[in-house]
Amino acid sequence: MKRRSKNIERRKHPRFFPDKNNQPQVSFIFEDDAEISVEVVNISRGGMLASTQQMEHFLEIDRQKIKLIKIVPPNRPPFRCAGKLLRLHPIREDKTCYCAVEFTKLTDEDFSESTSATAESTPQNKTAVDLPLEQSEVELLQRIDSAANYLEQPHSEKATQLRQQVYESFSDIADHLPVEDKWLFFELLDEMISHRPLYPVELKADFLKISRQGIKARQALGARQRLGLIKKPTKPD
């Protein structure tokens, strides 16, 4: 995805615009369990602008809650969140309806338990999150500098393998972010790798900001485990 320059982007969160040949698969599931596929026009940490040709159904559900949003980016782990329809803009000539959606946290207990279980069972390797915050940021930039460049030939099988390896190497941070923030972390990681070694100041600041969230979440989890508030996973006999 391409990131809109902040020189002209004044919104709270930077927006990303999917390439036509690199669209994520997105579907909305509503309270009545109706499921609709949409195309992403742009997406940010706070929400997305999407379009669908299932216009008549959308016109009946203005401002309803979206029980589940499923997003499957190309070559990345899927993520899920909930949402709310903010605005609808039907264009009958094109038989298309554009919808502005705000992301919200999932309230379904099954999804919440699944997310918590993943975070609590993450292996405790010695990584940037175990260092003081200032050292962590230096170590993160060093990891980006040394990561394989999977963007040179993004559609090759080798690039897919390299991308997955790099993403897994940052799982110590990504696994501790809320599910609705993981996609943004990987978007920013892609942008950082594409700009190295001369990182734009605002891009670097955005990447380090969201990385801090994952670092602090893991450090807090480790503290709770040391105090016995959370039991560490045990190996079966």
107-125 per-position pLDDT tens digit:
655 354 444 333 333 333 4
Measured in degrees and rounded to the nearest 5, phi and psi for residue 15 equal -100, 150
Q: How confident is the model at residue 227 (pLDDT cuts 50, 70, 90)?
A: low
CATH class name, domain 2-107? mainly beta
| Structure token digits, residue 218 | 């893991």
Residue ranges per structural domain of the chain: 2-107, 115-121+130-226
What digits encode the pLDDT tens for the residues 67-121? 899 988 877 777 788 888 888 888 878 788 888 898 888 765 535 444 433 333 3
Tell me the pTM.
0.55
By DSSP bridging, strand 16-17 and strand 96-104 are unpaired
Handedness of CA 156, 157, 158, 159 (dihedral sign): positive
Alpha-carbon distance of 220 to 212, in angstroms, equals 12
3 state DSSP class of 52: strand
**What is the number of residues in the chain?**
237
Q: How many CB atoms are closer than 10 A to CB 67?
A: 18
Q: How many CB atoms are closer than 10 A to CB 92?
A: 8
